[in-house]
Amino acid sequence: MKPKTQTEIVLNHLRTERYITGWVAEGVYRIRRLASRIDELVAAGYDIVKERTEDATGQAYTRYSLSARQRASNYPIKPVRPREKLVSLSAVRKVLAAEGVPFCYREYVMKNLEASV
- In the predicted structure, residue 86 carries a pLDDT above the cut 80: no
Q: What is the pTM of this model?
A: 0.70
- pLDDT confidence band for 94 (50 / 70 / 90): confident
- pLDDT confidence band for 116 (50 / 70 / 90): low
Backbone angles phi, psi at 36, to 5 degrees: -70, -40
Buried b (16+ CB within 10 A) or exposed e, 59-85: eeeeebbbeeebeeeeeeeeeeeeeee
Count of CB atoms situated within 10 Å of the CB of 47: 17
Could you report the per-residue pLDDT of 15-71, keeping only the tens digit for each? 999 999 999 999 999 999 999 999 999 999 999 999 999 999 999 999 999 999 999
Q: Which of 5-19, 31-45, 76-90 has the lowest mean pLDDT?
A: 76-90
Supply the DSSP symbol for 53. E
